[in-house]
Amino acid sequence: MPGRPLAVCVHVMRHLLPKPVERVALKVAYRLRKHWRQIARPQLHAITVIIRDPAGRVLFIRHSYGPANWTLPSGGIARKEAPEDAARREMHEELGVSLGEMTAVDTFEETVSGAPQTAHVFTAAIEDEPQPDGREVIAAQFFALDQLPDPLSVLTRRRLDAYLRMAG
């Protein structure tokens, strides 16, 4: 996975480590990865999925590492992996949900930790109850669009704005 050498090592070991130990490792990897991106500036490729429940609420998550913001479920795209496949894989790994039909919302060219990133944003409805993996994702909750959680990152707000324009 481009730009994710430490995260890949942690991911491979994830089932060997107790969840609390992996959460500490993820915090360390997050900091190191952030510095590495500022120096190497690799081209990153990522996905975000705006997951809706039957009531039209949107799923937000909190990670065990990084800022304490509520964010939309997201993840990296592996080398030679299609964005749609990465979205399905990441949502299954981190939340235990299977995505049905997905709709592309937008694609953003942005900078994350000093590195260029192409982010593919999708939306999908689910009926399953998300189950955070307790490793990367420690909380998952649906919120109505008129009662969004706080704080939200700038990137999360940008993705939500694109979704709202599309949903019209």
Mean pLDDT, the chain cut into blocks of 10 residues (168 residues total):
50 64 58 64 87 96 85 94 97 94 96 88 94 91 95 92 91
Q: What is the pLDDT of residue 168?
A: 78
Distance linking the first and last C-alpha atoms of the chain: 35
Q: Are 80 and 69 in contact (CB under 8 A)?
A: no
Q: What is the pLDDT of residue 6?
A: 52
Q: What is the pLDDT of residue 20?
A: 67
User: Considering Cα of 69, then 47, then 81, then 35, what sign does the dihedral take?
Assistant: negative
Best CA proximity match to 51, nearest among 126, 128, 106, 101: 126
In single-letter form, the type of residue at position 131 comes to Q
The radius of gyration of the chain's CA atoms, rounded to the nearest angstrom, is 15
Q: What is the CATH number of the domain that holds 75?
A: 3.90.79.10
User: Considering Cα of 15, then 101, then 111, then 39, what sign does the dihedral take?
Assistant: positive
Whole-angstrom Cα distance, residue 150 to residue 17? Answer: 31
What is the residue range of 94's domain?
A: 5-167
Q: What is the pLDDT of residue 2?
A: 45
Whole-angstrom Cα distance, residue 16 to residue 48? Answer: 27
Residue 62 φ then ψ, to 5°:
-125, 135
Number of independent structural domains in the chain:
1
Angle between helices 19-40 and 5-13 (to 10 degrees): 160
Whole-angstrom Cα distance, residue 129 to residue 99? Answer: 12
Distance of CA 162 to the CA centre of its chain: 16
